[in-house]
């Protein structure tokens, strides 16, 4: 298990690095959008390439940061039912989700996405818009993003199993966030302090 936990830490570090780098894609997209707007208004000149590069950069940011989003537990969840379960049951729900849903989904997307990327690269498909860009660079984000998401899903799976074995603290707690038990203890302490004053 210690080897798997080392692998998990390496995957976490990779997705943290990717998350820090992806923010620059958002900045670049914003700057290109602003420059395009200024040039269009000031000189009445525009290009579809400017518009397409913005959505290329956004697609890259969105897809490649999916693993980072999962690492930071910012993905969409349905906590209405999950929050009523015990911590162990929540871990088992996560394990089932990572193993039975996330992993197969990522593998299916990779199975179909990689051949599409290869085809896009081989044919050199261009955008249908006048002045548009070549398409394969944006297609690279699809398999790359799902590989990072798949790896992060496996990292989260390893952490959940390690938690159930008592090897690591709760991996679902965010840094600085208190567990339900800590919040309850704090509420009881405050209640006692209020009674004494």
Residue with tokens 């999916």: 66
Grade residue 181 by pLDDT with cuts at 50, 70 and 90.
Answer: low
Give the residue from 143, 165, 146, 142 showing the smallest Cα distance to 154.
146
pLDDT in tens, 119-161: 989 998 888 778 778 889 989 999 999 999 999 999 999 999 9
pLDDT digits over 3-19, tens only? 999 999 999 999 999 99
The CA–CA distances, whole Å, from 9 to 122, 135, 171, 175 equal 37, 34, 12, 15
Question: SS3 of 146, please?
Answer: helix
Give residue-wise pLDDT tens across range 103-119: 999 999 999 999 999 99
Q: Which residues contact 7 (CB under 8 A, 6 or more apart)?
A: 155, 158
Task: Name the residue among 104, 116, 103, 121 with its Cα closest to residue 142.
Answer: 116
DSSP letters, 34-81, are HHHHHHHHHHS---HHHHHHHHHHHHHHHHHTHHHHHHTT-S---HHH
Alpha-carbon gap, residue 44 to 138, rounded angstroms: 28
Determine the 3-state secondary structure of 126 from DSSP.
strand
Cα R_g (the chain), whole angstroms: 22
18 vs 60: CA distance, rounded Å: 11
Strand partners, 134: 126
Rounded to two decimals, the pTM is: 0.81
């Amino acid at each position: 298990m210690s080897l798997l936990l080392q692998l998990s830490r390496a995957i976490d570090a990779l997705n943290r690095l990717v998350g820090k780098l992806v923010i620059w894609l958002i900045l670049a997209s914003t700057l290109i959008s602003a420059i395009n707007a200024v040039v269009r208004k000031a000189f009445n000149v525009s290009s579809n390439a400017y518009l397409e590069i913005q959505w290329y950069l956004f697609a890259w940011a969105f897809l490649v940061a999916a693993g980072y989003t999962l690492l930071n537990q910012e993905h969409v969840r349905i906590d209405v039912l999950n929050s009523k379960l015990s911590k162990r049951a929540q871990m088992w729900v996560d394990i089932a989700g990572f193993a039975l849903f996330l992993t197969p989904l990522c593998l299916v997307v990779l199975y179909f996405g990689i051949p599409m990327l290869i085809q896009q690269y081989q044919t050199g498909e261009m955008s249908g818009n006048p002045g548009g860009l070549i398409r394969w660079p944006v297609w690279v984000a699809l398999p790359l993003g799902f590989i990072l998401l798949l790896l992060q899903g496996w990292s989260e799976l390893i952490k959940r199993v390690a938690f159930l074995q008592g090897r690591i603290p709760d991996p679902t707690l965010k840094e600085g966030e208190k567990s339900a038990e800590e919040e309850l203890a704090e509420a009881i302490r405050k209640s006692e302090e209020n009674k004494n004053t």
